[in-house]
Amino acid sequence: MDWCTVIEIVVVAYIAIQILRLIFADCDLQLQWAEKFGRSTGSLARKVVWITGASSGIGEYLSYELAQAGCRLVLSARREEELQRVKKQCLSYGNLMDDDVLVLPLDMLKFDLHKPAVEEVLSRFKQIDVLVNNAGRAQRALWEKTDIQVDRDMLEINVLSVLSLTKQVLPHMIERKQGHIVNMSSIAGKLGAPMSGSYTGAKHALQGWFSCLRVEMFPRNIAVTNICPGPVFSNLLKTSFTEKSGELLGVEMMEGEKRMSTQRCARLSAVAIANRLDEVWIALQPILTVVYLSQYMPTITGWVTKQVGVKYIMKFREGK
């Protein structure tokens, strides 16, 4: 066998392995690699991590994952009793003392409370190592029927409140010459998700804003990670917006639907944080493959998506 044949076999085998890894994957290749060979979440021990939207869903389970890694935590959301429940569970792992977890109720829409909230965290812990902008709301509605006020509401909660809190935390990180901003974006921040125009627009905006910040902050040793999950079990559809401002969708996710477990999404998010990855995609198949294809062949993927149609796509999104 000559060298050319050996090289050809190695290349073909490598491509085959990558294809197999993709078929069985629930996240992008770099995140898979980081989970196996990268920094462990234990490397985050004693870091001060502030998680917004920690009272349920992904934020709640990320709090558990980071508590097990030994992070000191600030838990924020509006419902204080739910945050206390999450704190109790965080303490039950035995890595943290009562003083290591601060419950800090915060309505992200009350922008004037962001500065005092940052001051409160700093007066308790003297530092903020990681800010996880996770609080958010979804939306289900036809684009043409969506009231413009819903678009505004969605931008307020999923974009502007995140920018505001981050702008209050950044000066502290810049002064310390270290820090990490993490945003819970979505696969809807990468692709057009029909029946969620305002949500998709808001998550795309988040990606854009923070991709710029990432480049600006690199020389200052501040990382920016955008996490993009596909469908995950949580309370998201219960409090989702509709076409009318102020109306809630009120849909419960049901066991047996095809969604990623909240625990798995939180685990992969924690790996992304520990490894300071720029952007990660966390989704079951076939959504993960669609994201890959749409990055490299947007028009062909768009053509296929249009042929498949809204009804069928929504079945996938709803885990049916």
Ligand X SMILES: NC(=O)c1ccc[n+]([C@@H]2O[C@H](COP(=O)([O-])OP(=O)(O)OC[C@H]3O[C@@H](n4cnc5c(N)ncnc54)[C@H](OP(=O)(O)O)[C@@H]3O)[C@@H](O)[C@H]2O)c1
Q: What is the token pair recorded at 287?
A: 């959504």
Tell which one of 91, 109, 113, 122 touches ligand X (CB under 6 A): 109
Among 107, 108, 105, 137, smallest CA distance to 247 is for 137
φ, ψ for residue 40 (rounded to 5)?
A: -80, 160
Q: By CB under 6 A, which span of 38-46, 105-113, 117-125, 166-174 interacts with ligand X?
A: 105-113
Is there binding between residue 89 and ligand X (CB under 6 A)? no
Please confirm, yes or no, whether 199 is among the known catalytic residues: yes
CB 72 to ligand X: min, Å: 19
Which residue's CB is nearer to ligand X, number 55 or number 166? 55
If the CB atoms of residues 47 and 137 are measured against ligand X, the closer one turns out to be 137
- Indicate which single residue of 73, 101, 229, 277 sits in contact with ligand X (rule: CB under 6 A): 229
Residue 317 binds to ligand X (criterion: CB under 6 A):
no
Residue 111 Cβ vs ligand X, minimum distance, rounded to whole Å:
11
Q: What is the CA radius of gyration of the chain?
A: 20
- Around 163, how many Cα atoms within 13 Å sit in the side-chain half-sphere? 16
> Whole-number minimum distance, CB 86 to ligand X, in Å?
9
Which of residues 239, 245, 263, 285 is near ligand X by CB under 6 A?
Answer: 239
Tokens, residue 10: 């190695």
Quick one: which segment of 106-114, 122-130, 293-301, 305-313 binds ligand X (CB under 6 A)? 106-114
Burial of 155: CB neighbours in 10 Å, binned 0-12, 13-18, 19+: middle
Decide whether 38 or 53 has the Cβ nearer to ligand X: 53
Among the listed ranges 10-18, 49-57, 118-126, 273-281, the one in contact with ligand X (CB under 6 A) is 49-57
**Residue 290 in the binding site for ligand X (CB under 6 A):** no
Restricting to residues 152-211, name those near ligand X by CB under 6 A.
Answer: 157, 184, 186
Which residues in the 118-147 window bind ligand X by CB under 6 A? 134-138
213 binds ligand X (CB under 6 A): no
Range in contact with ligand X (rule: CB under 6 A) among 25-33, 56-64, 164-172, 269-277: 56-64
From the list 30, 33, 40, 82, which residue makes contact with ligand X (rule: CB under 6 A)?
Answer: 82
Position with the least CB separation from ligand X = 57
Q: Is 34:277 a contact under the CB 8 Å cutoff?
A: yes
For ligand X, which residue of 79, 88, 167, 320 counts as binding (CB under 6 A)? 79
- Compute the least distance from the CB of residue 52 to ligand X, in Å: 6
Instruction: Give 130's strand partners.
Output: 49, 180
Cα–Cα distance measured from residue 10 to residue 228, given in angstroms and rounded to the nearest whole number: 32
Per annotation, catalytic residue among 61, 199, 292, 312: 199
User: Where do contacts with ligand X occur on this chain (CB under 6 A)?
Assistant: 52-53, 55-59, 77-79, 82, 106-109, 134-138, 157, 184, 186, 229, 231-232, 234-236, 239
Please identify every residue annotated as catalytic: 199
